[in-house]
Homo-oligomer: A and B are copies of this chain.
Amino acid sequence: MATIKDVAKIAGVSPSTVSRVVAGSSRISNRTKERVWRAMEEVHYVPNAIARSLARSHTRTVGFTLSRQADQAFSNPFFSEVLRGMSSAAQTRDYNILLSISMNQEEEGEKCLQLIRERRVDGLIVSTSRVKDSLIPILEREGTPFVIIGRSAEVPALSVNNDNQQASYQATRHLLDQGYRNVAFISGPEDLVVSMDRLQGYKQALLEQGFPFREERVVSADFSEEGGFRALYSLKERGVFFDAVLAADDLFALGTLRYAKHFHLSVPEELGVVGFNDTPLMTYTDPPLTSVRILSYELGREAMELLMDRLGHAGRQPMNKEVVLPSRLEVRQSSLRRTGSV
């Protein structure tokens, strides 16, 4: 591998001059610029990113950590899309992504700190947004530039989130508009901020439309089809009636569909179903599933942009921007009740 010295020798200049033309310094005569370019070509010179990182004391790489357990993670392509978005944004500004997938929150936290302390990355994108997240305060204290995908329930911080409450509100209203009067809500794990927010929207819609909010119609489960099925089953056992289900994840919706089939309930006539995430494959359920479409790709892209912006302003105060991305209800058959009026 050719180094800056080799180029310097060939071009007949000093290494620092080469460094300058590589950096695009303006105070270099065109003649030597030319000579250096030529020499660089000749030896196929490519700057060593590691050496550069050491000298400049930043790496131009961003860490993205993820713990799997807690998330619906890879049953739906959410994080894949987030990654795509991140990668795409990174490309445009010549940043790199260091990825780490852990088994649990704890490992993830350790990995974050390691990446930062070893100075492997300039900043982090994290996706842990539990209600009492232990990681966020630590990162804050260490002065680490980071952005959250989701949002922090406690400390203000840079974050990119989808409007869970609003989305949930819309979805619930949609069910109400379709004439369903007893909407059950299958929530994800309760300590997730996202669960809180979605519950909130559900509640708001009910109240605002003059319907009572009943605790007993809310069940929380771990993200899985089975979890969804069981949630409803437990409702039934407890004698709680419902004619529609708002599922905080498409997997729950899938479980709901199975539940309906199991008990010979016709969807959407006897049971309306709305899911969350609009997982691509879900278009092919029977009947096609109404679901809240999340802009996962954009979530990743925005998060990366935000972080890169933040990294650009090394000296200044850390900003506390919270960007919220809209989601949209994709209405399909599972929630379209053919009411009398039609």
Chain A residues at the B interface, C-beta cutoff of 8 Å: 1, 46-51, 53-54, 59, 61, 64, 68, 73-75, 77, 79-81, 83-84, 87-88, 91, 96-103, 111, 114-115, 117-120, 225, 254, 257-258, 279-282, 284-286
Bound-complex Cα distance A98 to B96 (A):
7
Q: Which residue of B lies closest to A279 (CB)?
A: B281
Residues of B close to A286: CB separation below 8 A: 286
Q: Is the CB of B99 within 8 A of A83?
A: yes
Determine which residue in A97, A99, A102, A114 has the highest number of CB atoms from chain B within 10 A of its CB, and name it: A99
Q: Which residue of B lies closest to A77 (CB)?
A: B74
Q: Is the CB of A254 within 8 A of B284?
A: yes
**Chain A to chain B contacts (Cβ below 8 Å), 10 pairs:** A46-B117, A49-B118, A49-B119, A49-B120, A75-B77, A80-B80, A87-B102, A96-B100, A96-B115, A281-B281
Bound-complex Cα distance A123 to B88 (A):
22
Number of identical monomers bound together in the oligomeric complex: 2
Determine which residue in A51, A54, A61, A74 has the highest number of CB atoms from chain B within 10 A of its CB, and name it: A74
Q: Is the CB of B254 within 8 A of A119?
A: no
Bound-complex Cα distance A49 to B75 (A):
34
Residues of B close to A225: CB separation below 8 A: 284
Residues of B close to A48: CB separation below 8 A: 54, 118-119
Q: Is the CB of B61 within 8 A of A98?
A: yes
Q: Is the CB of B80 within 8 A of A118?
A: no
Q: Is the CB of A80 within 8 A of B87?
A: no
> What is the distance, in angstroms, from A235's C-beta to the closest C-beta of chain B?
20
Residues of B close to A59: CB separation below 8 A: 50
Residues of B close to A91: CB separation below 8 A: 100, 102, 111
Q: Which residue of B lies closest to A52 (CB)?
A: B118
Give the 10 A-B CB pairs with smallest separation, nearest first.
A49-B118, A74-B80, A87-B101, A46-B117, A74-B77, A99-B99, A49-B120, A50-B53, A97-B99, A48-B119
Bound-complex Cα distance A120 to B186 (A):
45
**Contact for A80 among B1, B73, B98, CB less than 8 A:** B73
| Given pairs A54-B54, A61-B120, A75-B77, 15 additional interface contacts (CB within 8 A) | A47-B118, A50-B53, A61-B98, A64-B99, A68-B84, A74-B84, A77-B77, A77-B80, A83-B99, A87-B99, A87-B102, A88-B103, A279-B281, A281-B281, A286-B286
